[in-house]
């Protein structure tokens, strides 16, 4: 699904491929069919989707489809969702689960669509400089869609987000880098670091064996793509399956290094959490204690988008080719962005003051704060995601892991349900610790935050023990001896 297509003529409508380019196109098609893909994408026609025309000069030759709840207030957020190769706007609309949360939390959706006129496999051209640079080609068409949707839905320009799968994820990373003044946040699902490639051959290198750049080198690709003087960056969620052989897990590590470097916060997670579907969440907080980067590593998941069909609050989507039954990524991404009623603090109420931790046990943390005039309630956030609502000025968060550090913020909510500014963060560490054992490849350990890589070699986090080459073939067992610290336990793990 991440397969690129050889360059055509960017930004000029239909792209023609001849001579050597036709040979390359055939090779890509063969690889695509080997992976079990279909080389054409149906046009969007799902009920609920509306095609929008006349959204700008459209130099990237893309199509625009939108979805919005029937009662959408002015000032609501806007989410742009980019499909993967061989997919379409309707395919993503029907399977990814985003409409469920648009209805629940009241925001608008835009589903851009490319076609075989742009790319033989209907991929967004994330590896084409003429399509992924600010003000050019497909990138400009996507920006024009944002402008059109903001005007049409009277969206809050401070709460515009973008997400994408595979090639759509690669384009998402590029858009976040090129337009940090447009997007408050993004989610890159089984995707590539921003500007990892600028040619077909480089695209394959990135997908299967990404270059070993330092965090500063990855970050410089973002800084050089952004407008001069940019000082505010989007908050980025990174989703990756540990068994992905199309876009290998090292890409998630590159993405983490890239965006943590841009934020200037280092590559050691502030904390990790275990979620459903075998998912490990690693959180990287900004200096104020709010999550700036989150990495979701889904154990055993192959290439695709994580969904979890069902009617539960945390469930979404339908399974299909490249929609994999593990965990609802759209639910967790929406929470990370604060689309569930908090996070960005767009309301008029001031931030609560005096947030403190009054008690903590091995599984619970109790908070208190000062009252805010005009507040009807308060939203409580753990790791940037809303975990509860309080009508008083205290809250107890339960069901926590022992020996784990959590970060909390609180926002006052007015009588219309709009959250105000977010408080300063506090941290709390639950008591006790239960050692755990983890057997995985060095790539998987690194992606999950149990190890780190330096100079092509892997080292256990905390102990610094050498684990050998940084690849997907070397396997070790690590024992967690304390929160955030691991030792080698290949000869037997007593936990």
List of residues 6+ apart from 19 with CB closer than 8 A: none
Q: What is the rounded distance in angstroms from the CA atom of residue 252 to the CA atom of residue 240? A: 6
- H-helix or E-strand spanning residue 357: strand 356-360
Tokens representing 383 are 């790791």
Q: Name the catalytic one among 63, 132, 166, 190.
A: 166
63-101 core/surface letters (b: 16 or more CB in 10 A; e: else):
bbbbbbbeebeeebbbbbbbbbbbbbbbbbbbbbbbbbb
H/E segment holding residue 21: helix 20-34
DSSP string, 67-136: E--SS--TT--EEEEE--TT--HHHHHHHS-HHHHHHHHT-EEEEEE--TTT-TT----TT-HHHHSTTS
CA-CA distances (angstroms) from residue 424 to 253, 355, 381?
29, 7, 11
CB 87 within 8 A of CB 312: no
CB count within 10 Å of CB 407 equals: 20
Please state, in angstroms and rounded to a whole number, the distance separating the CA atoms of residues 231 and 257. 18
Catalytic annotation present for 190: no
DSSP symbol at 230: -
- Taking CA 122 as the corner, what is the angle to CA 96 and CA 153, rounded to the nearest 5 degrees? 50
**Rounded distance, CA 112 to CA 122, Å?**
12
What distances in angstroms separate CA 138 from CA 88, 192, 231, 321, one per listed residue? 15, 17, 25, 25
Contacts of 23 (CB under 8 A, 6+ apart): none
In this structure, are residues 171 and 126 in contact, taking their beta carbons and an 8 Å threshold?
A: yes
| Sign of the torsion formed by the C-alpha atoms of 484, 335, 329 and 83 | negative
**H helices present in 338-435, as ranges:** none
Quick one: tokens of 108? Answer: 């608008």
Q: Which two tokens stand for residue 399?
A: 């069901």
State phi, psi for 51 to the nearest 5 degrees.
Answer: -80, 140
- What are the catalytic residues? 166
């Amino acid at each position: 699904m991440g397969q690129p297509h050889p360059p055509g003529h960017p930004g000029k409508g239909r792209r023609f491929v001849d001579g050597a380019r036709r040979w390359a196109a055939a090779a890509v098609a063969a690889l695509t069919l080997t992976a079990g893909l279909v080389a054409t994408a149906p046009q969007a026609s799902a009920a609920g989707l509306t095609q929008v025309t006349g959204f700008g000069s459209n130099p990237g030759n893309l199509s625009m489809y939108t979805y919005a709840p029937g009662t959408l207030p002015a000032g609501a957020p806007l989410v742009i969702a980019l499909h993967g190769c061989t997919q379409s706007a309707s395919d993503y609309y029907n399977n990814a689960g985003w409409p469920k949360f648009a209805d629940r939390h009241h925001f608008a959706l835009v589903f851009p669509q490319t076609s075989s006129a742009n790319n033989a496999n209907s991929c967004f051209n994330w590896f084409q400089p003429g399509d992924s640079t600010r003000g050019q080609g497909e990138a400009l068409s996507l920006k024009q869609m944002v402008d059109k949707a903001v005007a049409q839905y009277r969206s809050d320009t401070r709460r515009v987000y973008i997400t994408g799968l595979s090639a759509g994820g690669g384009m998402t990373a590029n858009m976040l880098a090129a337009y940090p003044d447009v997007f408050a946040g993004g989610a890159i699902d089984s995707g590539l670091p921003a500007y990892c490639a600028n040619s077909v051959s480089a695209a394959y290198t990135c997908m299967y064996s990404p270059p070993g750049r330092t965090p500063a080198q990855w970050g410089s690709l973002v800084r050089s793509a952004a407008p001069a003087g940019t000082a505010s960056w989007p908050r980025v969620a990174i989703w990756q399956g540990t068994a992905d052989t199309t876009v290998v897990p090292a890409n998630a590590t590159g993405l983490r290094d890239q965006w943590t470097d841009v934020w200037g916060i280092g590559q050691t997670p502030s904390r990790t959490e275990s979620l459903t579907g075998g998912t490990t969440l690693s959180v990287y907080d900004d200096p104020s204690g709010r999550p700036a980067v989150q990495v979701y590593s889904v154990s055993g998941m192959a290439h695709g988008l994580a969904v979890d069909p069902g009617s539960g609050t945390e469930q979404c989507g339908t399974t299909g080719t490249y929609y994999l039954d593990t965990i609802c990524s759209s639910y967790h991404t929406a929470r990370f962005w604060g689309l569930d009623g908090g996070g960005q603090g767009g309301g008029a109420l001031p931030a609560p003051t005096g947030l403190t931790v009054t008690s903590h046990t091995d599984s619970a943390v109790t908070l208190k704060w000062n009252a805010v005039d005009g507040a009807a309630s308060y939203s409580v956030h753990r790791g940037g995601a809303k975990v509860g609502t309080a009508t008083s000025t205290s809250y107890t968060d339960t069901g926590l892991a022992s020996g784990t550090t959590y970060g909390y913020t609180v926002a006052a909510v007015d009588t219309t349900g709009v959250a105000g500014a977010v408080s300063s963060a506090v941290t709390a560490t639950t008591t006790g610790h239960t050692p755990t054992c983890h057997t995985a490849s060095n790539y998987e350990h690194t992606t999950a935050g149990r190890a780190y890589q330096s100079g092509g070699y892997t080292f256990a986090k905390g102990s610094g023990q050498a684990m050998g080459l940084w690849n997907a073939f070397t396997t070790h067992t690590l024992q967690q001896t304390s929160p955030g610290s691991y030792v080698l336990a290949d000869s037997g793990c007593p936990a």
